[in-house]
Chain A
């Protein structure tokens, strides 16, 4: 393979007019630019959803708070959940996959570049549609503007009888359109991974990130159409007078729950597997050791994908399912803890015996593991059906899934962001600001979400715009709200870090972390064609082989 560094010069962006540059971004089909756009839009909505959360925490800082009225609060948690799942998690994770996968598998672009651009702009349009509801969904009856039915929009609350106006229609259409975008991206990733790997890269020599995105793509293609179908049924109920979920006319509200969670639970793994992928790249590089047990990691990823399709009804333990069904879904949910545990043990196994360098990406990756253990264990608790009879729909659940989706997914995203930012921009982020950001976010995160477990145990249901005084909830809620302030300061430092580093950051060079996968063999930022010559690889760590010619990985490949 070649590690060539002599690239022909590209026309410098600085010489173009602003209009030409913006036009360039708008019409681009380059997977790297599309990936960056996904991440930028995702981070924008991350800030929006964070502001929504902060207003809710201001309301809940005290018992019987009066910061916002009930209707506004209900819109806030609906929009916060919907935004975080569909407009933050999905675009950032799929966007980073979009940026990285062709580089990691040694391809010049995604398989379908135009489809790729189409997917991005569908997502942007869907997001715009959802947020347009704030101004456009006033509706005939002057009812609520933004959607207020919760992010899982249980029927029949979404029925025309109970959700007047058209805010729910905006929720349906916004998510449906951005869902189409996700499906196109998944098809693209899947094809790229299966068909466009460079010579020598067998599936078992692919970076683990490639495996994670492969499984995620399959899950997206299976899960999202189920949601889309359910949403179309709901749309027909609402606009053409059909009765799928209309309980007043013999429809079934439980049908919606089955359809939604058949999408919803794989969705949780769609949101966590890419983050698993990021830290499976970060932990080895910063421990200076090859990933421990690559084949078992692959097996665990694939089995998580399979099992995640059979656990959905654990969101429905309180609906009065027969004991046999409850027991089945408890068992399948327990089962998924096994491959997830394997991953955690393998990451720790990678760190053991290494020489760990705690740069910001590694801080986030380590915190990811630590927080995910906690969120995973409360997840196992919630698989215990009778325990969930007490705590489902309580703040314990809110605490649990924030440990998984914030302590897990969001920390994973920041780990990957700090790791690959030098590749995408050619400049390093400030380590000093990065560490401030990490420690403040880590402290604020735990202060916010740990007390929620206790609030739940003390009987506080989720999605209430106020709680009663003198139930022992005041202290824990106040702590949660204080934590948000610390997190907000952290995010401001992060944004400042990005802005300053983009202008004045230290030049990164091609391979600032002394890493081992193909994306580090090309320039930072990579040229439009990614590689001057399509590389050929002999193992899962081609750059290790190049840097240690006396001890290449191919000598150690396991066929387990």
Chain B
């Protein structure tokens, strides 16, 4: 019991300490690991999925509001916990039978059948506590759950697929549209209004440092929002079980400056540029089944898999299953099942030359 209490105490302290220091935490490297650069099983590649997803490290108003409420709730619960467990432990120690030590068993203790004032007290006090909690809850619900986009918000359509994310947002000019996957790029300081839809089963949008989760439900439109206060990459992942590769439906939100965002928007709005190295691969892309599922502006219109128009601008492949580089790209095209077992893209059984050509073409999609 004592060990257990100590463990709780330490854990709460460690999360608390990490939370209260605004600087990158050195107090508790385990609770709040910095973005690590260690190599993983992908050969020479770095781990692009390490980082801080602690709900107590918000960088956006909804997550910030929730943290404040969470501290209130933790505080009240901790007091109740200490008091009630304290009384329990005290009664265990104080009223433990000591007959064996005394040698003579005493008679039965005084039988107390109850006490109306005492029972009334422990009915009414919890009522008051939960009333306070209800008020705090309703207040935060109203602050976080918006009915309409905040003023000046950037609107993004999010579509959940088994097992990747599609993002659609306005392009550089009014009639263009940027379609990308798994990695959302947004400007810092501007509210982002997300419209959530699903192409197949239920998924859930969860980037803990930006906002709480909102389910992504087929045949039902949901909204959520965030407003990142500092530049950086914020990680998350699908939080509703959605089938075989639920674990590898990862999310990245790259928060950049306003200027960088506009530059990104312009680059993403451009059609792909043909280059000599991609000619053979492009022909294969159109001959084989690739084009049925993948869209490339001006080339194909498939919509079952991610849009590849600017594939190489992304940091990862397979919804975060590996960092994106020529080596992992080749592994993926060769047989996606090696990297992401059970995903919906089959191996097309390309020979080595075909593989080289297709990869060379994809590498031109910057």
Contact = CB atoms under 8 A, between A and B. Distances in A.
Q: Do A and B come from one complex?
A: yes
A254 B220 contact: yes
Contact of B69 (A331, A335, A386, A454): A386
B8 A450 contact: yes
A433 interface: no
Interface string A458-471: 11111111111111
Contacts of B131: 334
Contacts of A213: none
B232 to A, nearest CB: 15
Contact of A348 (B62, B87, B212, B248): B87
A289 B111 contact: yes
B118 A349 contact: yes
Contact of A556 (B99, B111, B142, B241): B111
A454 B9 CA distance: 12
B213 A392 contact: yes
B225 to A, nearest CB: 12
A419 to B, nearest CB: 17
A390 B341 contact: no
A377 B55 contact: no
Given A320-B222, A458-B53, A548 B250 contact: no
A495 B86 CA distance: 33
B47 A470 contact: yes
A492 B217 CA distance: 44
Interface in A368-417: 369-370, 373-374, 377-378, 380-381, 383-394
Interface string B181-196: 0000000000000001
A558 B112 CA distance: 11
B150 interface: no
Interface stretch (B31-39, B166-174, B254-262): B31-39
Interface residues of B, number: 110
A64 B137 contact: no
A320 B145 CA distance: 9
Contacts of A383: 133, 137
Nearest to A153: B241
Contacts of A393: 204, 213, 239-241
Which residue, of B53, B80, B142, has the highest number of chain A Cβ atoms within 10 A? B53
A328 to B, nearest CB: 10
B346 interface: no
Contacts of B149: none
A288 interface: yes
A351 interface: yes
Interface string A333-349: 01101100110111011
A392 B62 CA distance: 16
Interface string A342-360: 1011101101111111100
Interface string A517-531: 000000000000000
* Interface magnitude class on chain A: 35 or more
A287 B95 contact: yes
B219 A251 contact: yes
A405 B323 CA distance: 40
A319 interface: yes
A136 interface: no
Contacts of A434: none
Contacts of A467: 247
A157 B202 contact: yes
A254 B70 CA distance: 28
A356 B110 contact: no
B77 A380 contact: yes
Nearest to B127: A338
A162 B95 contact: no
B63 interface: yes
Interface stretch (A120-128, A292-300, A501-509): A292-300
B219 to A, nearest CB: 4
Interface stretch (A69-77, A197-205, A264-272): A69-77
Contact of A385 (B109, B130, B141): B141
Contact of A468 (B49, B74, B212): B49
B266 to A, nearest CB: 32
Interface in B227-243: 235-243
Interface in A424-462: 446, 450, 453-454, 457-462
B30 A457 contact: no
A472 B33 CA distance: 5
A455 B243 CA distance: 22
A318 B123 CA distance: 31
Interface string A153-171: 0101100011000000000
B238 A461 contact: yes
B114 A327 contact: no
A471 B247 contact: no
Contacts of A453: 11
Interface string A242-269: 0000011011111000000000000000
A253 B123 contact: no
Given A156-B201, A335-B130, A384-B133, A354 B218 contact: no
A218 B213 CA distance: 35
Most chain B beta-carbon neighbours within 10 Å: one of A348, A370, A471: A471
Interface of B: 1, 4, 7-8, 11, 15, 30-33, 35-36, 38, 40-41, 47, 49-56, 62-63, 65-66, 69-70, 73-74, 77, 80-81, 84-85, 87-88, 91-92, 94-97, 99, 106, 108-116, 118-119, 122-123, 126-127, 130-131, 133-134, 136-138, 140-142, 144-145, 162, 196, 200-202, 204, 206, 208, 211-215, 217-220, 222-223, 235-248, 250, 341-342
30 contacts: A74-B244, A154-B240, A253-B217, A288-B97, A288-B108, A292-B112, A296-B123, A323-B141, A330-B141, A348-B84, A349-B114, A353-B109, A355-B109, A381-B74, A381-B77, A387-B73, A389-B62, A389-B66, A390-B213, A459-B55, A459-B236, A460-B53, A464-B237, A468-B47, A470-B33, A470-B50, A471-B52, A471-B235, A472-B32, A553-B111
Given A356-B96, A377-B80, 5 more contacts: A70-B244, A320-B215, A341-B126, A353-B109, A471-B51
The 9 closest A-B pairs by CB, nearest first: A470-B50, A389-B212, A459-B53, A464-B247, A470-B36, A334-B130, A247-B218, A293-B114, A320-B222
